[in-house]
Chains A and B, each alone.
Chain A
């Protein structure tokens, strides 16, 4: 983009890293040759599809496959009883039994009860898609309606139908710091707001898909669009086979965003292969994906904020209820993120936080980019603007006044150990923004809004996260990297190539990365939690460093030069006044029995598990901070909102590939705008009404402006070369930015997402005509 800026401190002389090099994976994607999970076929391949519940809450009375099995071409119909271990465990380490047991489970195929519209009841396998379609319609399922509950707060009230026997309360996290009562008593103002967010779908362009087969050694192999190859363990457990007999391969994934973090097609493919012995393909239709894939948690967030006249935030009193849907998946962890991030990038002395997540008969909710840390931005950044408005202060100044600094401690107890550039990011977007544009007509109003956020990167420290990578030279000097990282489009694999090339002094086009194979690449953990660059990047950094030092040590001994005087560069191994071509250096190593490969493992920081009443020295490795600004125009007659301009500034520590960083920011912002203005999975008493992309509206190119990015490089990150994660942070601010901008334009504040024209029109009526509080 022509509008990017990068401002760096702690400059390093880097050759490959920090360069906007074209990504190696892009060539195949642009040539149209990349084979995604669904682009794989075997001659004797079968097709599989699920029969799903048409009701959100029911007892299963009868299941009968006889009509389906009579159809020519139908090979098998499986019910829950046909699954060796019909259970998928979600284990959330660290949550104690103070709340219900967090080892939540669900069936692979429902046997007695269904708890959401779309729950899988039967698996059908057939020779052709046509036979499959007919068979699925011919599996007889009789359901008996069970009273369901479709609101999280209602689910927690007395007399609500129980979704699970243990009760509807899934998880709670609380924080108490300081003396909130006294803080409110001493405060000059208190502002309150209730903010709600909606069910959001990942809407990746590639629907859930995969092909599975037995390889020649009888290992069940699943090539699937996934963010987590480690699911091979779950699959092995379901099938009742040793973990070493299952292999998961992750090809390039057509978008993940957390939606391919849980298993989707994997258990069903595995069951179909185990039953038939033949390769099997499964791909979900778009309707099916919208119906059955776990969604983002809708939240109701009540904030009361106490402040001093000078804009200092004294206290937050926060209450959050989250809808877990029918099954736990990762809901408890998502809620934890919300709790830790709930006060934003600010130092707030007094905090009372109560959060809870409840089961309902709505669709299950689980991981989605931002993972609970992004819904709360809408709340806390709306509150910051409310405070500024009430006190007649500049919203930028209020944020700067309260911004965290090195040494401050988050309400959860985690000290901030790195530099926080919130003020710089605010300056960055404001400077870039210049003057607010004029409305384009008499019935339009323009407003400006901004928001700051923090978002963790790297997984929770008590999960003992680690990632491994193997780096090895070929005899001709080209380099192979093997790493289990899953590449979902964020340049995960190509970043590793850049890091290895940088350290080992080779050209980027000499590096080949093999990734995403649970059997043949060292495991690197999930591509989630904005952790891959941090974890596998560091693992490759580690392995490359070990390898480099091995080679240099061998050459030092061979040539009688001090180790410290040698380095690896384009010319090969370079000394004070020598240069040995790489190929010859490798020959030296081989002769001296020095390996020309190395395995590196990077361990994330450790911490103790937390209990419901959160207090921890450390929860996350680190955070990424940023600020966004937008100008919007509101049509005063229709409530339609146009985003005229959008500027985003983040401190990314070090941009391994600046273009990739811009791409992540741009993509994350547009997803955030989608959630802010357009997207909603509509449910009516648990029945999913959103049947396709004609109803689930994601932003098109004509709905968003260019995202102008300002990148700051503090060098303070914990990733390789001082990098901070950037996958999730940009999705947090947009809803708040736009809400603040609309408020600025029309004088009244939207508090429910999405901010549809209808809702905005209601605000316009509330707030009077174009007005607003003046530009920040």
Chain B
């Protein structure tokens, strides 16, 4: 209701789409699932002169590639959640996808859309950052690779230029002996997370050998917790919780959802829980 009219272009290849975006000189936005863009338009938060629909562009889907999964940018969240390859080879990604929105969002929303939207509290950007994924980006002429950890540069802002689109994400698979954890805190299931934590851990004989842990919702981008990883390095699994102290170096916002102080507290709790899950799974796998 009461949306300022905009135009519609349908692209059949990403190259065409990039060309159309260039023609609109920044006044057009790509749309795939529309699950972020259209609510913002309906709420009057965003105005566009046109949308370029890329949802019908042929997409390679999900393939295994030398110890990695390559996931096409147009993969719907529901597909990511249920795909056998993802469940087997990178279950953290499947778990993250399951937490996105509700069943309708997951039927339409795409990986490329979520990652490009760069909501600081979103699940998939967090998962990608933690897993050390790389994005393949095109402007229709050439392709470049951007590490997920460098992709977001500010709130809801990525490196993508106006005429660039995500092609795919290349995600390392879960190595042998590694466990994963993904936990989210929200007021109701399916809501935007207040804070989310993702972790990987490798344990051996009751000790923590290596971890990776990152948070969403505590900064303008997914945040790796190098200090926490260092703090738990070599610890007994049972000591994990004590080793994770208050999370340093984060300054979350205060908004109608939660205060900064509360977010910081939750950040610590979720970090502990995600690491605990990851360690448990690591130990179960051996």
Tell me if chains A and B make direct contact, with any CB pair below 8 A: yes
A638-B266 contact, Cβ under 8 Å, with A287-B43, A692-B43, A700-B189: yes
Q: Which residue of A lies closest to B43 (CB)?
A: A692
Measured in the bound complex, the distance between the Cα atoms of B2 and A678 in whole Å is 29
The answer to whether the Cβ of B188 comes within 8 Å of any Cβ in the partner chain is yes
Let me know if B185 and A640 touch, CB within 8 A: yes
List CB contacts (< 8 Å) of B238-273 with chain A: 256-259, 262, 265-266, 269
A695-B256 contact, Cβ under 8 Å, with A134-B4, A638-B266, A638-B269: yes
Let me know if B189 and A285 touch, CB within 8 A: no
The 9 tightest CB contacts between A and B, nearest first, are A133-B2, A637-B269, A758-B262, A682-B256, A702-B189, A130-B5, A285-B1, A703-B188, A689-B256
The answer to whether the Cβ of B191 comes within 8 Å of any Cβ in the partner chain is yes
Let me know if A133 and B269 touch, CB within 8 A: no
Taking a contact as CB atoms closer than 8 A, the residue among B2, B43, B189 that contacts A129 in the complex is B2
Q: For residue A699, which residues in chain B have a CB less than 8 angstroms away from its CB?
A: 188
CB distance from B168 to the nearest CB of A (A): 30
List CB contacts (< 8 Å) of A278-320 with chain B: 283, 285, 287
Q: Which residue of A lies closest to B5 (CB)?
A: A130
Measured in the bound complex, the distance between the Cα atoms of B262 and A688 in whole Å is 23
Q: For residue B185, which residues in chain A have a CB less than 8 angstroms away from its CB?
A: 638, 640
CB distance from B151 to the nearest CB of A (A): 24
List CB contacts (< 8 Å) of B1-21 with chain A: 1-5
Taking a contact as CB atoms closer than 8 A, the residue among A133, A283, A287, A678 that contacts B188 in the complex is A678
Q: Which residue of A lies closest to B262 (CB)?
A: A758
Q: Which residue of B lies closest to A134 (CB)?
A: B4
B-contact bits for A477-520, CB 8 A (1 contact / 0 none): 00000000000000000000000000000000000000000000
List CB contacts (< 8 Å) of A676-729 with chain B: 678, 682, 689-692, 694-695, 697, 699-700, 702-703
List CB contacts (< 8 Å) of A44-64 with chain B: 49
Let me know if B256 and A49 touch, CB within 8 A: no
A133-B4 contact, Cβ under 8 Å, with A638-B266, A694-B192, A695-B256: yes
Let me know if B2 and A758 touch, CB within 8 A: no
Measured in the bound complex, the distance between the Cα atoms of B5 and A129 in whole Å is 10
Q: For residue B190, which residues in chain A have a CB less than 8 angstroms away from its CB?
A: 700, 702
- Give the size range of B's interface with the partner: 20 to 34
Measured in the bound complex, the distance between the Cα atoms of B211 and A77 in whole Å is 64
Let me know if A136 and B2 touch, CB within 8 A: yes
- The residue among A134, A638, A689 with the most chain B CB atoms within 10 A of its own CB is A638
Q: Which residue of A lies closest to B4 (CB)?
A: A133
The answer to whether the Cβ of B187 comes within 8 Å of any Cβ in the partner chain is yes
- The residue among A287, A637, A640 with the most chain B CB atoms within 10 A of its own CB is A637
The answer to whether the Cβ of A737 comes within 8 Å of any Cβ in the partner chain is no
Let me know if B262 and A761 touch, CB within 8 A: yes
CB distance from A688 to the nearest CB of B (A): 11
A690-B256 contact, Cβ under 8 Å, with A638-B185, A697-B188: yes
List CB contacts (< 8 Å) of B176-217 with chain A: 185, 187-192
The answer to whether the Cβ of A468 comes within 8 Å of any Cβ in the partner chain is no
A133-B3 contact, Cβ under 8 Å, with A691-B43, A697-B187, A700-B188: yes
Taking a contact as CB atoms closer than 8 A, the residue among B3, B188, B191, B259 that contacts A758 in the complex is B259
Q: For residue B269, which residues in chain A have a CB less than 8 angstroms away from its CB?
A: 637-638
Let me know if B4 and A702 touch, CB within 8 A: no
Q: Which residue of B lies closest to A443 (CB)?
A: B269
Q: For residue B188, which residues in chain A have a CB less than 8 angstroms away from its CB?
A: 678, 697, 699-700, 702-703
Q: For residue A758, which residues in chain B have a CB less than 8 angstroms away from its CB?
A: 258-259, 262
List CB contacts (< 8 Å) of A173-210 with chain B: none
A285-B2 contact, Cβ under 8 Å, with A682-B256, A690-B256, A697-B187: yes
CB distance from B24 to the nearest CB of A (A): 20
Q: Which residue of A lies closest to B195 (CB)?
A: A638
Let me know if B191 and A697 touch, CB within 8 A: yes
Measured in the bound complex, the distance between the Cα atoms of B265 and A505 in whole Å is 66
Measured in the bound complex, the distance between the Cα atoms of B1 and A132 in whole Å is 10
The answer to whether the Cβ of A80 comes within 8 Å of any Cβ in the partner chain is no
- The residue among B2, B3, B189, B190 with the most chain A CB atoms within 10 A of its own CB is B2
A283-B192 contact, Cβ under 8 Å, with A758-B258, A758-B259, A761-B262: no
Given A134-B4, A638-B266, A700-B188, 13 new contacts (CB under 8 A): A136-B2, A285-B1, A287-B44, A638-B185, A638-B265, A678-B187, A691-B43, A692-B43, A700-B190, A702-B189, A702-B190, A703-B189, A758-B259
Q: Which residues in B have some Cβ–Cβ distance to A below 8 Å?
A: 1-5, 39, 43-44, 185, 187-192, 256-259, 262, 265-266, 269
Measured in the bound complex, the distance between the Cα atoms of B262 and A637 in whole Å is 11
The answer to whether the Cβ of A161 comes within 8 Å of any Cβ in the partner chain is no
Q: For residue A691, which residues in chain B have a CB less than 8 angstroms away from its CB?
A: 43
Measured in the bound complex, the distance between the Cα atoms of B257 and A758 in whole Å is 10
Q: Which residue of A lies closest to B255 (CB)?
A: A689
The answer to whether the Cβ of A757 comes within 8 Å of any Cβ in the partner chain is yes
Let me know if B2 and A132 touch, CB within 8 A: yes
CB distance from A429 to the nearest CB of B (A): 26
Q: For residue B259, which residues in chain A have a CB less than 8 angstroms away from its CB?
A: 758
Let me know if A283 and B5 touch, CB within 8 A: no
CB distance from B254 to the nearest CB of A (A): 11
CB distance from B227 to the nearest CB of A (A): 20
Q: Which residue of B lies closest to A754 (CB)?
A: B187
Q: For residue B262, which residues in chain A have a CB less than 8 angstroms away from its CB?
A: 757-758, 761
Measured in the bound complex, the distance between the Cα atoms of B257 and A513 in whole Å is 46
A-B contact pairs, 24 of them (CB 8 A): A49-B2, A130-B3, A130-B4, A133-B2, A133-B3, A133-B4, A283-B1, A287-B43, A287-B44, A637-B269, A640-B185, A678-B188, A682-B256, A690-B256, A692-B43, A694-B39, A694-B191, A694-B192, A697-B188, A757-B187, A757-B262, A758-B258, A758-B262, A761-B262
CB distance from A52 to the nearest CB of B (A): 13
B-contact bits for A615-647, CB 8 A (1 contact / 0 none): 000000000000000000000011010000000
CB distance from B101 to the nearest CB of A (A): 10
B-contact bits for A148-169, CB 8 A (1 contact / 0 none): 0000000000000000000000
Q: For residue B256, which residues in chain A have a CB less than 8 angstroms away from its CB?
A: 682, 689-690, 695
Measured in the bound complex, the distance between the Cα atoms of B192 and A689 in whole Å is 17
Measured in the bound complex, the distance between the Cα atoms of B262 and A769 in whole Å is 18
Q: Which residue of B lies closest to A128 (CB)?
A: B5
Measured in the bound complex, the distance between the Cα atoms of B189 and A58 in whole Å is 40
Q: For residue B187, which residues in chain A have a CB less than 8 angstroms away from its CB?
A: 678, 697, 756-757
List CB contacts (< 8 Å) of A580-599 with chain B: none
Q: For residue B1, which residues in chain A have a CB less than 8 angstroms away from its CB?
A: 129, 283, 285
Measured in the bound complex, the distance between the Cα atoms of B262 and A700 in whole Å is 24
Q: For residue B43, which residues in chain A have a CB less than 8 angstroms away from its CB?
A: 287, 691-692
Q: Which residue of A lies closest to B258 (CB)?
A: A758
CB distance from B17 to the nearest CB of A (A): 26
CB distance from B170 to the nearest CB of A (A): 32
Q: Which residue of A lies closest to B269 (CB)?
A: A637
Let me know if B265 and A761 touch, CB within 8 A: yes
Q: For residue B5, which residues in chain A have a CB less than 8 angstroms away from its CB?
A: 130
Q: Which residue of A lies closest to B44 (CB)?
A: A287
Q: For residue A702, which residues in chain B have a CB less than 8 angstroms away from its CB?
A: 188-190
Q: For residue A761, which residues in chain B have a CB less than 8 angstroms away from its CB?
A: 262, 265
Measured in the bound complex, the distance between the Cα atoms of B2 and A49 in whole Å is 9
- The residue among A136, A678, A757 with the most chain B CB atoms within 10 A of its own CB is A757
Measured in the bound complex, the distance between the Cα atoms of B254 and A689 in whole Å is 13
Measured in the bound complex, the distance between the Cα atoms of B189 and A761 in whole Å is 19
Q: For residue A49, which residues in chain B have a CB less than 8 angstroms away from its CB?
A: 2
- The residue among B44, B188, B259 with the most chain A CB atoms within 10 A of its own CB is B188
CB distance from B255 to the nearest CB of A (A): 9
CB distance from A493 to the nearest CB of B (A): 29
CB distance from A685 to the nearest CB of B (A): 14
Q: Which residue of B lies closest to A133 (CB)?
A: B2
CB distance from B277 to the nearest CB of A (A): 13
CB distance from A757 to the nearest CB of B (A): 7
Measured in the bound complex, the distance between the Cα atoms of B255 and A689 in whole Å is 10
Q: For residue B4, which residues in chain A have a CB less than 8 angstroms away from its CB?
A: 130, 133-134
Q: For residue A287, which residues in chain B have a CB less than 8 angstroms away from its CB?
A: 43-44
Q: For residue A694, which residues in chain B have a CB less than 8 angstroms away from its CB?
A: 39, 191-192
